[in-house]
Structure 1
Amino acid sequence: MNLSSILADQDLMSEVRSRIRKGAFDPRFPILDRQVTIETLEGVARGETLAVGYDIEAIVRVTGRPALIVKNGTFSTPESDVWKSRLETSRSLIENAISSVGRIELKNHPGFEWVGTGWVVKENIVVTNRHVANEFSLRDTTGSFKFRRNYENKEMGARIDLREEYMQPDEVEFRVVKVLHIEEPEGPDIALLEVEFSGVNAPKPIKLANTVNAGSYVAAIGYPAWDGRRNDPAVMRQVFNDIYDVKRLQPGQIVTVTSNYFTHDCSTLGGNSGSPVIDLSTGEAVGLHFAGSYLKENSAVPAAIVKDRLNSI
């Protein structure tokens, strides 16, 4: 996604300008003090291409669209005072959602140990993306779904781990027992999985919102993975501090809304496939993240479509 929505946020940009004037940068920006000025920031705002573009982009993104580590079921405090205020107001709502999001992990897959993000949308049902579920399941001749087999003819399997937090070895895993639905290729990027939840750790479903509105403050929750093919490695290292594959909270804003999808500007990577996009004011899921295009936009399936597919199974 581009920087337009961040640059239009007056509160955030006032904070970025203040940090530039004070030289208040952390060690991830070793050369910013001699390269970045208010003038370079204003140049980026006008759409100019600058030799120090990745540096100014990184500070705008770290301040304006952070990717916060989740640990012990809650999120780390952002460097930005603006985001700190916005997120603290909704901390309990966000923590409720965090507890119901997990990493989709695989058994007997020839290439991947894990493949994306999923979240509890109904008792014993997890929603993720079609392209995530297709890695370990497929439709059989009867129209139902089955688990794939690898080159050794071993059946693949899947589970969801609701932890996988940074520097936290604990696991909270539940087995995927059945694939309930994988949308056809021409439809939205949705899949529904039946999961064997049990015991005191059984998570609560994240409520689906009835509407999604452009300009709303939101956050994706998921497991961003290193993706140097589609992202600038220098910016990615600075925004994510070279820590990947663990649960993060990635706040941002809804940009555009259509009947079939909406776009948002949270700082996501490939492992975020299947992440919920949470409205910070309600804690409800406004959509299911499914794709991102570097420096352009991220896309999500609206919650209303997820709800429709859920009601049809």
Structure 2
Amino acid sequence: MSDKSYLAAPYRNSLSATAKAILNHQLLSIDETHLDYGCGRGGDVERLITAGYRSVGYDPHYFPSSATPADVVTMGYVLNVIENPQQRRQALAHAWNLTKKRLIVSTNVRGCGIHEGEYTRLGTFTKFYNHIELKAYIESTLGFEAVKLGKDKFVIHRNGHQFTPLCYEKILEESKAIATDWIPGMDVIIKGYCNDFKPRAGIDNLDDGEFPGRVRHYRLLAKSPCLPGKTGLVRCLHIRGGIGSEHMEWAIAALKRRNKIAEMKFHCIEQSFLNEFLGIKNFDFLNENIKIYR
């Protein structure tokens, strides 16, 4: 941490948002041990002990000798105050190495875009994240899935989904091998629609019965013109034949290629591709199955 980072540790009159989250989500039981990594002045630890929990705190300034392994490790707002990027990543990896079951990471967040960091009036360093950046940062560092608890909080389980983060050059190499055909943009989805509102006996192509007796159609839909139309790029492309058709299989295969490349980029060790994901509201591109919006 920077020399003055300890000044960023607040005096607390109650449990922090991170401590409240682990209790509300039942991520810490009375029988489990807890380590508050970067605990600052130790307010959360004191209150958790008073409540009957087996909690200890580690802080390089206030409690430098208590970094012992625990079932549950929390890392609240530590990544915001470490100026050196390498030390920031090392701290996250260190906290992960100390947890036996799960790690909960929270940071201060701010809108969209990449915030490189700034200095406060106290001379401390502060960096803000957005939710997509924080998830990418955790997963590209640890190689485990970070499950969202809130826009500024993620939990990483020891028995969770594991993968291998790749470096920039390796991702480019593997992406070229996958991109043998058209690759859709990140905003492209498969969307169902119905334009025949007259009941037709014996015909119901909608699985959930929301529009009984109507023919259900599907299309590729994008926010900007990026789909291969007959006369150029378009925002909407009809999928001939509907579910199970050859054209639908082509569309799903294209999105699977997109998602496979996107997952590698999202977990890039250097995070060189992070700007491609800014503005994305969910993480569907990390799923193996392609979602069809009815």
Q: TM-score, normalised by structure 2?
A: 0.31
Greater strand percent: which structure? 1
| Higher relative contact order, chain-length normalized (CA < 8 Å, sep 6+) | 1
